[in-house]
């Protein structure tokens, strides 16, 4: 499958990541991507930058780097209603947001609670992607999640880092088939994201690609070969 975009990436502004904005963009260009998105961790993640980091993206000229660039955030979901950790006035000024469950920010709940948290986060119009929804630490009802994602115009992520050997969300690989089956059933679009924390990993979707192929997931439901569609998607 042609793969032209990666919008789940972290720079040094995530503190436990190691490349600058320019280094991430350069890597994306070298790898032949047409669109890169930067999504640093929102303030509840230990060590993450102050919210002011997210309020000045206007200085980052999206057309200055010879590749389509979008600037967003990976929000932390902080309760089972799906609340997140950045003020709406800052969110409104950025291009897109990913919302995810992370252990330092919320303890795992029941399947019902985790599902409600992810669906609640989708209600925020800036949230366009649910990050790594197949993390076994946070069991979810994939059928309900895929249906809600379709209804709320949200993409569900196939997170490459989750599927890598030695990755931080072990067991995700085993759940990917269930996630993809639910998305296929409801016609829900997915997005592959590298979750790169260093320039070397930008655009690395090898494990996600392998699983998409393994489960014969329809290519037309994977947005990664259509940067123009992604730009329209986040603008809606
Ligand atoms: Zn994450
Ligand atoms: Zn991430």
**Measured in angstroms, how far is the CA atom of residue 144 from the centroid of ligand 1?**
21
How remote is the CA of residue 80 from the centroid of ligand 2, in Å?
20
Ligand nearest to the Cα of 76, by number:
1
For residue 46, how far is its CA from the centre of ligand 1 (angstroms)?
Answer: 13
Mean pLDDT estimate for the chain: 97
Q: Note the pLDDT tens digit of each residue in 57-72.
A: 999 999 999 999 999 9
Query: Which ligand minimizes its atom distance to the CA of 77?
Result: 1
Over 90: is that where the pLDDT of 168 sits? Answer: no
Between the CA of 47 and the centroid of ligand 1 the distance, in Å, is 14
Indicate the helix (H) or strand (E) that contains 157: strand 155-159
pLDDT exceeds 90 at position 18: yes
Backbone angles phi, psi at 90, to 5 degrees: -80, -40
Q: Give the pLDDT of residue 72.
A: 98
Instruction: Using alpha carbons, select from 111, 114, 109 the residue that is nearest to residue 99.
Output: 114
Q: How many CB atoms lie within 10 A of CB 129?
A: 30
Ligand nearest to the CA of 102: 1
Q: Which two tokens stand for residue 26?
A: 């350069």
Q: In a 10 Å sphere around its CB, with 0-12 CB exposed, 13-18 middle and 19+ buried, how is residue 88 labelled?
A: exposed
Q: What is the DSSP string of 91-107?
A: HTTSSEEEEE--TTT--
Residues 6+ apart with CB under 8 A from 222: 1, 189, 190, 191, 192, 212
List of domains in the chain: 5-235 (3.20.20.140)
CA of 39 to the centre of ligand 1 (A): 10
């Amino acid at each position: 499958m042609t793969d032209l975009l990666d919008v789940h990436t972290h720079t040094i502004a995530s503190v436990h990541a190691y490349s600058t904005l320019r280094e991430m963009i350069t890597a994306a260009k070298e790898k032949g991507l047409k669109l890169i998105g930067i999504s640093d961790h929102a303030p509840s993640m230990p060590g993450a930058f102050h919210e002011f980091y997210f309020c000045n993206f206007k200085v980052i000229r999206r057309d200055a780097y010879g590749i389509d660039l979008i600037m967003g955030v990976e929000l932390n979901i902080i309760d089972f209603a799906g609340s997140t950790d950045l003020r709406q006035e800052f969110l409104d000024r950025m291009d897109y947001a990913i919302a995810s469950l992370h252990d330092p920010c919320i303890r795992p709940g029941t399947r019902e609670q985790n599902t409600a948290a992810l669906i609640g986060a989708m209600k925020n119009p800036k949230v366009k992607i649910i990050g790594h929804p197949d993390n076994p630490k946070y069991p979810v009802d994939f059928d309900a999640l895929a249906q809600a994602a379709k209804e709320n115009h949200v993409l569900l992520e196939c997170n490459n880092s989750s599927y890598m050997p030695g990755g931080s969300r072990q067991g995700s690989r085993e759940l990917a088939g269930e996630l993809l089956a639910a998305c296929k059933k409801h016609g829900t679009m997915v997005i592959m994201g590298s979750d790169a924390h260093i320039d070397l990993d930008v655009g690395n979707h090898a494990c996600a690609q392998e699983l998409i192929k393994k489960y014969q997931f329809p290519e037309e439901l994977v947005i990664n070969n259509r940067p123009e569609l992604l730009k329209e998607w986040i603008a809606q």
